[in-house]
Amino acid sequence: NAGVTQTPKFRILKIGQSMTLQCAQDMNHNYMYWYRQDPGMGLKLIYYSVGAGITDKGEVPNGYNVSRSTTEDFPLRLELAAPSQTSVYFCASSLGGHRRSTIYFGEGSWLTVV
C-alpha cells in the first residue's frame, strides 16, 4: 500500500548544484502537488498538476521546474540550488482536487543547501 512515494528522503546539496526530487503515486490520481515547508512555517505550494501534460505555478515557483509526462510521476527539478531552498519538500496527490477528494501527502524530502 505505497500511496505517495518521495525520493530521496535526505539530501545535502552545494550551492549551484542541481537535483531532481522524485515523486510517484500508485492511486491513479489526477492531481499532484509539490509543497515546501520552511522551519516554523506552514506549507507553501510550489507547483501543481491537474493531469498528465498539464502543470501550473503555485505560490513559490521560482528556482524550480516540474514535468508531468505520466499520471504516476511528478518530479521536481531544482536548478542552481541556493541556501534559501533549504526546506522540507512534500509531494501530494488527490483524485479530483482538494474540494472533492482527500489530498494524500508523501513523507517528505529533507533538503539542505550549503
Partner 1 sequence: DQQVKQNSPSLSVQEGRISILNCDYTNSMFDYFLWYKKYPAEGPTFLISISSIKDKNEDGRFTVFLNKSAKHLSLHIVPSQPGDSAVYFCAASVLIGGADGLTFGKGTHLIIQP
> Using CB under 8 A as the criterion, which residues of the chain lie in contact with partner 1 when the complex forms?
4, 31, 33, 40-45, 48, 50, 56, 58-59, 90, 92, 97-99, 102-108
Bond before 8 cis per omega within 30 degrees:
yes
> SS3 for 40?
coil
What are the φ and ψ backbone dihedral angles of 35, each rounded to 5 degrees?
-120, 155
Cell triple for residue 93?
Answer: 496527490
CA 22, CA 19: separation in Å to the nearest integer?
A: 10
Is 41 or 114 the residue whose CB approaches partner 1 more closely? 41
Is 43 or 82 the residue whose CB approaches partner 1 more closely? 43
CA 13, CA 17: separation in Å to the nearest integer?
A: 6
Q: In the complex, what is the shortest distance from the CB of residue 17 to partner 1, in angstroms, rounded to a whole number?
A: 25
Is 11 or 44 the residue whose CB approaches partner 1 more closely? 44
Q: In the complex, what is the shortest distance from the CB of residue 67 to partner 1, in angstroms, rounded to a whole number?
A: 18
Is 75 or 80 the residue whose CB approaches partner 1 more closely? 75
Q: Kindly state the DSSP code that residue 98 receives in the 8-state scheme.
A: T
What are the φ and ψ backbone dihedral angles of 85, each rounded to 5 degrees?
-90, 5
Q: In the complex, what is the shortest distance from the CB of residue 110 to partner 1, in angstroms, rounded to a whole number?
A: 9
Q: In the complex, what is the shortest distance from the CB of residue 47 to partner 1, in angstroms, rounded to a whole number?
A: 10
